[in-house]
Structure 1
Amino acid sequence: SMIDLRYQIIPDPFNIMILAMGVLHRIIISAQLGMFSSVMDNFLGLIISGSIFLLLATISKGGMGGGDVKLIAVLGFILGLRRSLLNMFLSFILGAIISIFLLLFKIKDRKDAIPFGPFICLAFMITLFWGDMIMDWYLGIL
């Protein structure tokens, strides 16, 4: 996310490395637990989150970059479908809150680009550590 902040790019080798580590982790965990069916959930997380962001990147005409699409897809694989949906939601919430702050205090102008990768990464960390608790809390208030 520091690279995205400075250069507004998320390098493909970075995404490939994260995906490789995620696949390796999933293979090891699945072999230990004998739960190879859960791998489908990981692929659904990748496909659904990647597709949603690809659609947004297409609609926004450059407002969101291909690196963001690849990053959210790779993290979707790691998180699985359910938690990847939370990750996307939190990414947008964090992005909105921080962007409003930056605009209100005139740190950024409306025409300035605000990289989205850091919000995706921060949301990923929140989802990774507290995602199940957040979803249980939210579903409990419905």
Structure 2
Amino acid sequence: MEIVIALFVFAFGLVFGSFYNVAGLRIPVGESIAYPPSHCTTCDRRLTAGDLVPVLSFLVLRGKCRSCGERIRWVYPFMEFVTALLFAGAYLQFGLTPEFFVAVLFLSLLVIITVSDIAYMLIPDKVLLPIGAVLLVARLFVPLNPWWDSIVGGLVGFSLLMLIALVSKGGMGGGDIKLFFVIGLVLGTAGTLLTLFLASLIGAVAGIIQLRVTKQGRKTPIPFGPWIALASVIVYFWGSQLMSLYMGLW
């Protein structure tokens, strides 16, 4: 039965992942998420139901528009599949408990801001603030242990990123700062610190690889949001094991 529910949640994640792609690409530029309907950005043909089946349509169409043959951006099927995996993973980790619904909200936020940061190097307040507010309320009903760790974690995350932004004179965006407040609410103080460490490490390695591959200069701006999201997922699912492993080394 658990596998059946996990598959259902996976399918649920595919559908919502498709919607999160739209939200992440349209909201930052002030476009409606409902109008115009989904269409090819090259030939402007309105997509049919057969073109909009998450992941499967991309595979059937071989990654190209049915009409004009223009390549479909890889981010669409990738984020659909990732969202499905995250939702199914959250179910397998937490079951149908209140924490599962916190997880779905949190993971949804991370997916949307990843899409928007990749596309525009922007974490939109119109996404971050409403979901952050709901997570704040949710943590009152589904608290960490101790309950106040959410508030402390949020304040620590916000303060650290603000300090980094001030020291680096704008090297950290306002969206990243507010995002870490939300991360603190969900993960608590220790989880927030571990997320910052992992995000910095992963981001540094990925940045070096990107600069070497693209031959860009060191001052080329690189989105940090995706690496924050990846680190947050790692800590949310495996943070306690990582901290236990670290403590075991000493």
TM (norm. structure 1) is 0.88
Cα distance in 1, alignment partners of residues 137 and 171 from structure 2 = 33
Aligned match of 2:121 in 1, 5, 8?
8
**Which runs of no fewer than 5 residues in structure 2 stay unpaired?**
1-113
Partner-residue secondary structure (3-state), 2:214 = coil
Q: What is the root-mean-square deviation of aligned Cα atoms in Å?
A: 1.6
Q: CA deviation at 1:107?
A: 5.3
Is residue 94 of structure 1 aligned with residue 202 of structure 2? yes
Identity of aligned residues (%): 39
Is residue 39 of structure 1 aligned with residue 147 of structure 2? yes
Q: CA deviation at 1:17?
A: 2.7
Q: CA deviation at 1:51?
A: 0.3
Is residue 113 of structure 1 aligned with residue 221 of structure 2? yes
Is residue 64 of structure 1 aligned with residue 172 of structure 2? yes
Matching residue's letter, 1:87: T
Cα distance in 1, alignment partners of residues 240 and 215 from structure 2 = 34
Cα distance in 2, alignment partners of residues 47 and 2 from structure 1 = 26
- CA 1:80–1:119 in structure 2 vs 1: closer, same or farther (change >3 Å)? same
Cα distance in 2, alignment partners of residues 108 and 27 from structure 1 = 46
Q: Which of structures 1 and 2 has the larger relative contact order (alpha carbons within 8 angstroms, sep 6+)?
A: 1
Q: Deviations along 1:105-127, whole A, 9 cap, x unmatched?
A: 23543121001111111100001
Q: CA deviation at 1:63?
A: 1.4
The structure whose Rg is larger is 2
Is residue 131 of structure 1 aligned with residue 244 of structure 2? no
The equivalent residue for 1:78 is: 186
What stretches of structure 1 move > 3 A for 4+ residues in a row? none
Cα distance in 1, alignment partners of residues 119 and 169 from structure 2 = 21
Q: Deviations along 1:58-109, whole A, 9 cap, x unmatched?
A: 1111211111100011111111111111111111011011011112223543
Task: State how many pairs are aligned.
Answer: 137
Matching residue's letter, 2:178: K
Cα distance in 2, alignment partners of residues 11 and 86 from structure 1 = 24
Cα distance in 2, alignment partners of residues 107 and 12 from structure 1 = 32
Matches within 5 A, 1:17-32: 17-30=130-143
